[in-house]
Structures are given as structure tokens and as C-alpha cells.
Amino acid sequence: MAGSGVVTVYGNGAITEAAAKQSPFSVKVGLAQMLRGGVIMDVVNAEQARIAEEAGACAVMALERVPADIRAQGGVARMSDPQLIKEIKQAVTIPVMAKARIGHFVEAQILEAIGVDYVDESESKKSWQARHTGIKIVQQIEILIGCAVLPHLRSEHGLNDGNQKVRTITALSLAALAEASAPYGTESFDSVLKTLWKEGVESDHIRSDILPEFFRNFWVRRMALDRRNYRRMVMETIEKVAANLGASDIDARLEEQLIDGILHAFQEQTSDDANVMLNGFGAVVNALGQRVKPYLPQICGTVKWRLNNKSAKVRQQAADLISRIAVVMKQCQEEQLMGHLGVVLYEYLGEEYPLTIALKAIVNVFDVMDNYVPERSFFDLWMVVKSFWFVVSNAMRFFKE
């Protein structure tokens, strides 16, 4: 053979060392020819690589996780730790491939320094799992930051995706965004409305054919597995029933269970369903009217406990609840309890707007503040709240002329 030096045989061809230096691409082509028809084993550590070599594998692929684990755990394949790839390279004599998506030339230099023979893509743009994971991340971001994500909303290509799971998670993502941003940002959804518009069905068809079967399979015990969403759904239903049908058909036993349930749901709520719990609690208490009197000490105890919470949102929600049930407390003639709540709110009065709303609600239904005003002077209180116009507008009710 012409040329001097070491001769390397790849399949049916031979390449000298000198030729390899002149044309490194030909070396890689020859390596690919050598691997053709052989078995390339996926490995995640050096021990597996040695076993694969002993079993007759022509090469090994260094992975972060094997495909079966990726499908089971979700997500997409990522590049293995460079140190792990180096250990695999040192453990075997057969070629080592690295699964990686090179996004910067430094990454390529690292792989070259390790001595990787081939680089394989870590993920495919055609992978529905990758699209599903990306859209699900967007959904969680929407839940966390709410309407702040509206300026970044673009057309959701997932609505027209060929995979049903991707279309489903896209619809759920849009629903989460709409719920988190309501009542703002309606115009931001213009890009997806055309895709969402479909031919509808008649209301008679829904009432006669869909609703009976829907409700028959709706309230089942399996729904309780997702407790947070289940509590929210139940509270929304109770609110609508109490507001539209009243509480006249509720017997004593059901009444006790209802109050106990909404108190538990109110205490176990999360930040994204605060308004639902507040509206439901207020609707039930107002629907029961004077029948709620035996439960008022327990309700007020829960409210006072939440007024001491370190979270401002929790304190505000507790004050909002007082403003919604103050009328019922007046009907139940709980003057002493109302006066005590008035003192608590008065002492906490400051920057938080709902506290003044709650205190104003108590004073509007029953003028008890003259008998329960603490030693703290009205002038001191005015100095606290005078910088906040929205607080002043509701605090003026408490100052004597």
C-alpha cells in the first residue's frame, strides 16, 4: 500500500496514519463502516460499558438515563456528566458515543478533549414528550406568576399538534393562564381564539344527552385522590347551590358536616384558590343565616388564628371573610364577639386594605366601637394610615368629628 506509517483497517477499507491526518473525515467514515451491522449498547456507567464490550457490542452510547427510564419518569434525554463519559472511555477499548446536543463550541471542545468518537442528538424535535414537557412548564409558570406572563403570550402551536396529549396539556395551560390572569388580559388571547372556536351544539342536546351521563360519573370517590382540586371543585359547587337555591332544605346533620367541611377546606387552601374558598364560605354562612350561630365561635377562632399569620395574603383573606359574615353575626346577636373582632382589627389596622373593609363592615351593621375602642388614640391611628389613600377612605368612619 502506498504511504508509510500505521495502517488502520475499517471494514473493507484501509487508511494510513498519514492519510488520516490529511483527511480526518475519512477516519470517521471508516469508523461508521466498521460499526455497520453491529450492536451499539446504551450504558449509564463504566461497569455497564465493560459488560457490553464483553458481550460483543461494537460500541457503547453514554447516556444520562436509559430510554425506558426517560419514558417512565418524563422529560427528555440530556447529556451525561463529562467525567462519567471519561470513565467509560477509559474502561473499554471499543468506540464510545456521547448523547448530547451541542449548543456552544466550548461543549464541542470538551467532548473532543474527552476523546468521544461520535456525538448523537440528545432529543428530537419530533418528540412529543419534549413538546409536552415544555408546555407543562409554561403551565406551572402561569400558576406561579399569574397575569405577569400575559405580555409573553404567543400563539399556542400545541393546539394543532398531532399528538392528543400535547393538545390536552396545551388546553390545560391556556385554562390555567386565563384563570390566573382574570379579569385582565382578554386581548392577549386573540392569537388562540381562532383555533379554539369550533362548531357548537344545541343546549337541548347538552341538557338531555350529556349532563345526565356526566354527573353520573362525576361525583366519584376517585376524585378525592387529587384533594386540592377536589376541594376547590366542591366549594365552587356549594357556593352556586347556596347562592341560587338557599339552605332551607339542609337538615341539622348536613348543616354540621357542611360547616366542618368548609372550615377544613378554608384552612387547607392554597394561594391559587383563595378567592374560591372565600366566596364559598361567605355564600354558605349568608345562606344559613341565624342557623350558623352555634358555629360562630369556631369560625371566629379560625379567623383570628389566620389574622396572626405571617403571610399578608392570609391576613387579608381572613379580614375579607369578616366583612362578608358581619351581617350574619349581627342577625345572630353576637355583639360581644363582633366587638372582640373589632378590637383585633383595630389593633392590626395599617397598610392592609381588607382590614379597614372588615372593620367598616362591623361598624356598619352594629355600632359597637365606642364601647370597645382600645386605649390607643385615634390620632395615633391616623398617623399610621394617613399615607395610604385607600385605607383612609375606609378608616374615616372610625374618627369622631
Letter for the amino acid at 190?
A: D
β-strand partners of 118:
97
Distance CA 175, CA 158 (A): 14
- Residue 234: which H helix or E strand, with range? helix 227-245
Angle at 168 between CA 191 and CA 195, to 5 degrees: 25
pLDDT at 12: 42
Query: Tens digit of pLDDT for each residue in 217-228?
Result: 776 777 666 666
Sign of CA dihedral 330, 335, 340, 345: positive
The overall average pLDDT reported for the chain is 70
Given a contact cutoff of 8 angstroms between Cβ atoms, the answer to whether 345 and 308 are in contact is no
Q: If you ran DSSP here, which 8-state letter would residue 80 be given?
A: P
CB atoms near residue 397 (< 10 Å): 12
Over residues 79-86, the mean pLDDT reads 82
Distance CA 143, CA 140 (A): 5
pLDDT at 275 over 60: yes
pLDDT at 152 over 70: no
Closest C-alpha to 354, from 309, 302, 314 = 314
Q: SS3 for 123? A: coil
Query: Tens digit of pLDDT for each residue in 302-359?
Result: 888 887 877 777 777 888 888 888 888 888 888 788 777 777 776 665 544 444 445 5
In total, the chain counts a number of residues equal to: 401
Rg, the chain, Cα only: 34
In sequence order, which residues have a C-beta less than 8 Å from that of residue 269 and are 6 or more positions away? 231, 277
Q: Which residue has the higher pLDDT, 187 or 399?
A: 187
pLDDT at 382: 45
Q: Is 156 exposed, middle or buried (0-12, 13-18, 19+ CB in 10 A)?
A: buried
pLDDT confidence bin for 55, thresholds 50/70/90: confident
Given a contact cutoff of 8 angstroms between Cβ atoms, the answer to whether 78 and 37 are in contact is no
pLDDT at 65 over 70: yes
pLDDT confidence bin for 116, thresholds 50/70/90: confident
> Is the entire prediction scored with pTM above 0.75?
no
- List % helix, strand, coil for the chain (3-state, nearest 5): 70, 5, 25
